[in-house]
Amino acid sequence: MVALDTGSLSRTAIEAAAGLAAGLSAEVVAMFVEDVRLLHLAGLPFAQELGGASATARRLQSSDMERALAAQAKQLRRALEETAKRLPFSWSLEIVRGDLLEIALEQAGADLLVLGRTRRPGYAGPAERRAPARPLPLIGSRRIVAVFDESLAGMRTLEAAFALAQTAHAALVVVVRASRAEGFGALREQARAWLAERGAVASSYASIAAHDTALMGHMALLHGAAAVLLPEPERQAETEDLARLIDDIACPVVLIR
């Protein structure tokens, strides 16, 4: 499932979902989440919007917001159709209202959740490295970052990241997450051996302490990440950290169950 709202890096998230679907023989369920806070705001009697070209303020009405959301959903459908022409995959689109993260985490049937919401502009990467001829041009010239730990979801994260990197012809960075210092080396060797069995290597390895979600934003920026894949958090405190990460990171986040 790829969940998107009005503040999402939609095309990059769609490419990530398409690459995962192609690499794992899966289906994409795209969900456009209409932010109820925007609709409530538009219904306030004092709400105004400022024209980008005219710099003129005018009354903002609920009908205006409804039309804007409908137009964005239409653009999202067009982006899915265009991506499916370059890299065939099966997809569907649902439109719901609520909060992106809450709705996405409630989707029990989804094995992978691609979340594209962010408060930061996406990292396009150096112009000379872009490769429009590739099936996933926004991802193919950048790096896929996988968080690997000792959990079963950690292994699935490595598998999904490998599949996405192979499909997109992108470099793979493995971030080893362990609760103890002595665990880093063993997990790094496990990941290296798993990739070697498939004739692949990671472009680099890094390490973070267990559940240090805040550091992932810096890791993504450092490596110019196209997407960050990590196991879904199990505890409420980690979910709150995840919400901050999704807003602050400049690329889609993929949660693996």
Instruction: Tell me what percent of the residues of the chain surpass a pLDDT of 90.
Output: 48
Domain contains 205? yes
- Contact in structure between 142 and 125 (CB atoms under 8 Å): yes
In a domain, 83, yes or no: yes
Residue 130 lies in domain:
2-37+68-256
Q: What pLDDT is attached to residue 133?
A: 63
The CA distances from residue 126 to 53, 123, 141, in Å, are: 29, 9, 9
Q: Is the pLDDT of residue 103 over 70?
A: yes
Number of domain units in the chain: 1
DSSP string, 67-105: HHHHHHHHHHHHHHHHHHHHS---EEEEEEEE-HHHHHH
Is residue 44 included in any domain, yes or no? no
Each residue of 35-72: pLDDT tens digit?
877 777 777 777 777 766 666 777 777 887 888 889 99
- Confirm whether 48 is domain-assigned: no
CATH of the domain at 101: 3.40.50.12370
Apex 4 CA angle, 29 and 228, nearest 5: 90
Residue 49 placed within a domain: no
Task: For residue range 201-249, list pLDDT tens digits in order.
Answer: 999 999 888 767 777 778 888 888 999 999 987 766 677 788 888 887 8
The model's pTM:
0.85
pLDDT value, residue 41: 77
Average pLDDT over residues 106-111: 84
Query: Is 50 exceeded by the pLDDT of residue 128?
Result: no
For residue 225, is it within any domain? Answer: yes
Residue 62 forms part of a structural domain: no
Residue 31 has pLDDT above 90, yes or no: yes
The alpha carbons of the chain give a radius of gyration, in whole angstroms, of 19
| Spatial distance between the Cα atoms of 118 and 9, rounded to a whole number of angstroms | 7
**Domain assignment of residue 90, yes or no:** yes
